[in-house]
Structure 1
Amino acid sequence: MAVDTTSRHDKETEKQRWDRNFADLLQELRVAQTGVQILFAFLLTLPFSSGFPQATAFQRDTYIVALISAAFATAMIISPVAFHRALFRQGRKPELVRYAHKMATGGLFFMLISMVSSVLLITDYVLHWKWAIPLTVITGLWFLTLWAGLPLAHRDWADDDEDRDS
C-alpha cells in the first residue's frame, strides 16, 4: 500500500500560502509582543522605585540600554500591524509577509539585548559585578542557543521527517 507523502502545503495556492505564512507570523508576534510589553512596562516603572536612586552610573547606563532596546523591540514587533493597515486590501500580502518577517527578526534581536541587559542590571544591583558578568554571559548564551543556534541547526527537520515517512 502506497503512502501519500504529499503535504497539505503542496496543494495550497500561492495566495493561500501567503495567507498561512502571515497567520503564522501573527501568532509568533503575539507571543513575542506579550513578553516584550511586560519587560518594557517593568523597565518604565523602575526609575520610580525607591532603590533606583542608589544605582551606580554603570547600572543607570545598563538600564538605558535595556529600556531603549525594549522600546525598539516593541516598535519592531508591533510594526507589522501598522504596515498591514497601510496595505490593507491592496493584494500585497507577499510584501507584508517579507516585511513582517524582517521586523519580527529585528524585534527578537532587540528583545535579546533588552533581556540580557536587564539581567545584567538586576544581577549587578543585587549581587556584585563579579557574579553579574558570568550570569549575564550564561543568560545571553542560553538565549542565543534557544533563539538562534537550535533553529539554525535544525532547519532540515522537515526533510528528516519526510525521509522517515517514505
Structure 2
Amino acid sequence: MSITEGRPSRPRGRNETEEERADRMWGELIQEVRVAQMGVQILFGFLLTVVFTPTYRTLEDTDQTIYIVTVVLGAAATGALIGPVSLHRLVSGRRVKPQAVTWASRLTFVGLVLLLATMTCSLLLILRVATHNPCVPWLVTAVLVWYLLCWYALPMWTRHHHTSR
C-alpha cells in the first residue's frame, strides 16, 4: 500500500462488472433526462401555441423566421431527449445495455445542445418582441454565455481537475 500525503491510498472507482456499470449509468442518465425532458416539453408546447395567437400575424418577417427556427430546434431537442426512452424500450432484453447507454448518452448530449439553442432563440424572440431594444442581442449573448458556463464549462473544468489521470 502506497502512502500519498501521509494517508494510505485507496482504490478509485467502483468494483463493478460492465453490466452493473451499464445499469448504474442507465439509472443516472434517465434521471438527468427527466429534468431536461420536462423543460423541453413545456417550452416546446408553449412554442406550438404562439402561431395561433393574433400577435403572431403582426410579427416582422425576421421575428417569424426566428420563431420558425426556434420551433424546429425545439422539435429536434424534444426528439433527441425522448430518444433514450425509445432506445431503451426497443433494445431492452437484447443484452446490449452498455451500447444502449453509450447511444442514449450521445442523444442526451445532442438534446442538451439543441435545448440550449432553443432556449437562446426563444429568449431572443421574446425580448425582441417585448422590448424592441437594440441591447437585446447583447443581453441574449450574456445569457448564452451563462448557459455555456453552467452547462459545459463548469462540468468540463470539474472533469479536468477532479478526475483521476
Same fold (TM over 0.5): yes
Kindly state the Cα deviation for residue 52 of structure 1 after the two structures are TM-superposed: 1.6
1:154 aligned residue (154, 158, 163): 158
Which one scores higher on RCO, CA 8 angstroms, separation ≥ 6?
1
* Amino acid in the other structure paired with 1:93: K
1:11 aligned residue (15, 20, 41): 15
Kindly state the Cα deviation for residue 131 of structure 1 after the two structures are TM-superposed: 2.2
Distance 2:102 2:123 in 1: 32
TM-score if structure 2 supplies the norm length? 0.89
Superposed CA RMSD in Å reads: 1.8
* Amino acid in the other structure paired with 1:30: R
Kindly state the Cα deviation for residue 33 of structure 1 after the two structures are TM-superposed: 0.1
Q: Deviations over 1:24-83 (max 9, x none)?
A: 100000000000000000100011123222111111010011110010000001011111
* Amino acid in the other structure paired with 2:33: L
Kindly state the Cα deviation for residue 129 of structure 1 after the two structures are TM-superposed: 4.8
Secondary structure in structure 1 of the residue aligned to 2:113: helix
Secondary structure in structure 1 of the residue aligned to 2:94: coil
1:25 aligned residue (29, 33, 55): 29
Kindly state the Cα deviation for residue 85 of structure 1 after the two structures are TM-superposed: 1.6
Distance 1:102 1:54 in 2: 39
Unaligned residue ranges in structure 2 (runs of 5+): 1-6
- Partner residue of 2:58? 54
Kindly state the Cα deviation for residue 150 of structure 1 after the two structures are TM-superposed: 0.8
- Partner residue of 1:164? none
> What is the percentage of aligned positions where both structures have the same residue?
35
* Amino acid in the other structure paired with 1:65: V
Query: How many positions carry a matched residue from both structures?
Result: 159
Kindly indicate whether the alpha-carbon contact (under 8 Å) linking 2:18 and 2:98 is maintained by their aligned counterparts in 1: no
- Runs of at least 4 residues of structure 1 off by over 6 A? none
1:133 aligns with 2:120: no
